[in-house]
Chains A and B, each alone.
Chain A
Amino acid sequence: MDKQSLLDLLRHDARESVDDIARQLGADAEAVAAALEELEDDGVIRGYQAVVDWNNVDEERVRAQVEVDVELDRETGYEEIARRIARFPEVATLRLVSGDYDFFIEVEGESMHDVSNFVSERIAPIPEVTKTVTHFVMDSYKEEGIELGDGDDDDRLSVSP
């Protein structure tokens, strides 16, 4: 079972049935199920989620990208700080990045007030955090490799040589 092909396929569409995955990879359904379990057990696959276009959902959803500067000391490294930030359910994504700031956080909340409160009351007060910059997401055009526009119509001739 070629795990890279399996991952490619799942990254494309994780909702395929095990049988359909097996057909596309030319493998047994049992082998696919076993490989999936292994990938999950090994922590390679951490979850399967829907890519939602929040523009098309009635419920208000506020997202922000927050840049965070930290100052490390002898006892505290990035790992410790990251663990404390990651625990908050409001934090959807947390990455250590190169460049002008240290951490990149994606925060989700029900209102702008919610999100800014969260940043000022939960993130900023962490002793190692020296600065935060919050960017509210105003619109989204592409998520997880999927364009969120109306998409291109298939205007090919229905039958062609």
Chain B
Amino acid sequence: MTLGDQLSDRVEQVPPSGIRKFFELAEEVDDVISLGVGEPDFSAPWAARTAAIDSLERGKTSYTSNRGMRELREAISERVTRYGQEYDPEDEIIVTTGASEAVDLAFRAFVDPGDVVAIPQPSYISYTPGAIFAGGEPLPVPTRAEDEFKLTPEALEAAGADEADVLVLCYPNNPTGAVMTDDELADVASFVRDHDLVVLSDEIYSDLRYEDDHASIATHPGMRERTIVFNGFSKAYAMTGLRLGYAMGPPGAIDAMNKVHQYAMLSAPTTAQYAALEALRSCDDSVEEMRREYDRRRRFVLARFEEMGLDCFEAKGAFYVFPEAPDGDDEAFAEGLLEEQNVALVPGSVFGEGGAGHLRVSYATGMRELREAMDRIEAYVSD
């Protein structure tokens, strides 16, 4: 028997990640300046780190309750009121190993074989495989540069999402940096109610909005009961490696997700839960400081792109901008730039339909590198 021949169809069906390919190319280049990184360049706030260390010193190394420490769930419940979200720490919140686990739990809890999962694209690369692993049928919903990559009812309609069972949302968006306002979400909410969809709303970048406050579809009329919200500590608190996220939703839904979670994961890492608790208690200032710095870099990058004639809509969230590749071929541009100027970024086509012809540029990199990278991109573009 060869194990390679025994793979499940679900796993075989998922192609290797395009990010992976680009990572390998970039690894071969010396002195690369990378604008291809999907995580903060900051470290977690020191107070959160010391809380993790303290917890270890106090011997807090056992499991927690499946749903996460009660205090942490309470702190999360309190925190999300700033987005107009109200969830009971008792039975409407589950702490997970990164928001990624939470998304996976939701796919497994809500997707039956053959269920259609509508995924606005370009999108974070995990949703499509996640839907497939759960037996679902991913349905790409292309969004367009002229709409600033916002999701519209027209786009949903055109893609046939009225027939879908589940809709995945991610705003502020990776890879485009797009955000959606309350009014724009209201239109999507109305489509969702009309066609009776379940919404999985990944709001991991909720604290990284630069022109306005975060808006969540779950706060719209009739949406709370059909939406699972995901959030976490990776982006705003620069805690990616601590792997801590959470999901919020109606009790029955969270129960179902907890059923999977308790067998698959038992509980999220205890050390990370202590770090997260401290992060919520005392690290607002650090988050705001990081947000302001990202905002300065965002404006800088947008200004430089405009000056060098690279078309780019004004991304207002996350830490990405999504310019057009000058000659329309994002992969050739990204490979050429890497080869000739040692600057790595990610071709938009990696992120699915609607991403082709664009480039994901992450500004989670210090100003010095960013300035140098912009000079090199300019040299490459004008060459």
Give the chain B neighbours of A30 by CB distance below 8 A: none
Asked whether any CB of chain A lies closer than 8 Å to the CB of B292, the reply is: yes
Question: Which A residues are in CB contact (< 8 Å) with B220?
Answer: none
A159: chain B residues at CB < 8 Å are: 19, 22-23, 26, 34, 36-37, 344, 346
Q: Mark A1-14, 1 if CB is under 8 A from B, else 0.
A: 00001001100110
**Distance between Cα atoms of A88 and B41 in the complex (Å):** 43
Could you tell me the distance in whole angstroms from the C-beta of B383 to the nearest C-beta in chain A? 22
Contacts of A154 in B (CB 8 A): 41
Indicate which residue in A8, A16, A23, A157 contacts B299 across the interface (CB closer than 8 Å). A23
In whole angstroms, what is the CA distance A33 to B37 when docked? 34
Find out whether the CB atom of A161 lies under 8 angstroms from the CB atom of B126: yes
Output the nearest chain B residue to A13 by Cβ-Cβ distance: B367
Cβ–Cβ < 8 Å partners of A20 in chain B: 300, 371
Q: In the complex the two chains form, is A158's CB within 8 Å of B34's CB?
A: yes
Flag whether B296 is at the interface (Cβ < 8 A). Answer: yes
Within 8 A of A (CB), among B15-74: 17, 19, 22-23, 26-27, 32, 34, 36-39, 41, 43
How long is the Cα–Cα vector from A156 to B39 in the complex, in angstroms? 8
Q: Which residue of B lies closest to A17 (CB)?
A: B371
A152 CA to B44 CA in the complex, in Å? 12
State whether the Cβ of A56 lies closer than 8 Å to any Cβ in chain B.
Answer: no
**Given the complex of chains A and B, what is the CA–CA distance between A161 and B32 in angstroms?**
17
Instruction: Judge whether A160 and B297 touch: CB under 8 Å.
Output: no
For B34, list chain A residues within 8 Å (CB). Answer: 158-159
Contact of A51 with B by CB under 8 A = no
Is A24 in contact with chain B by the CB < 8 A criterion?
yes
Check if A160 sits within 8 Å of B39, measured CB to CB: yes
What interface size band does chain B fall in? Answer: 20 to 34
Residue count of chain A within 8 Å CB distance of chain B:
20
Known: A152-B43, A156-B37. Is A161-B297 also a contact (CB below 8 A)?
no
**A12-B346 in contact (CB<8A):** no
Contact B41 A156 (CB under 8 A): yes
Contact residues of A between 1 and 56, Cβ < 8 Å to B: 5, 8-9, 12-13, 16, 20, 22-26
Chain B residues with CB below 8 A from A5, complex form: 292
Q: B20 to chain A: closest CB distance in Å?
A: 8
User: Are B36 and A160 in contact (CB-based, < 8 A)?
Assistant: yes
**Bound CA span A23–B371, Å:** 11
Closest A residue to B303 using CB positions: A23
Bound Cα distance from A147 to B81, whole angstroms:
36
Interface flag for B124 (CB, 8 Å): yes
Bound-complex Cα distance A154 to B23 (A): 16
Residues of A within 8 A of B (CB): 5, 8-9, 12-13, 16, 20, 22-26, 152, 154, 156-161
Told that A159-B23, A160-B39 touch, could you supply 13 new A-B pairs with CB distance under 8 A? A8-B292, A20-B300, A22-B303, A24-B300, A152-B43, A156-B37, A159-B19, A160-B36, A160-B38, A161-B38, A161-B124, A161-B126, A161-B174
Give the 6 A-B CB pairs with smallest separation, nearest first.
A23-B303, A159-B36, A24-B296, A159-B23, A158-B34, A160-B38
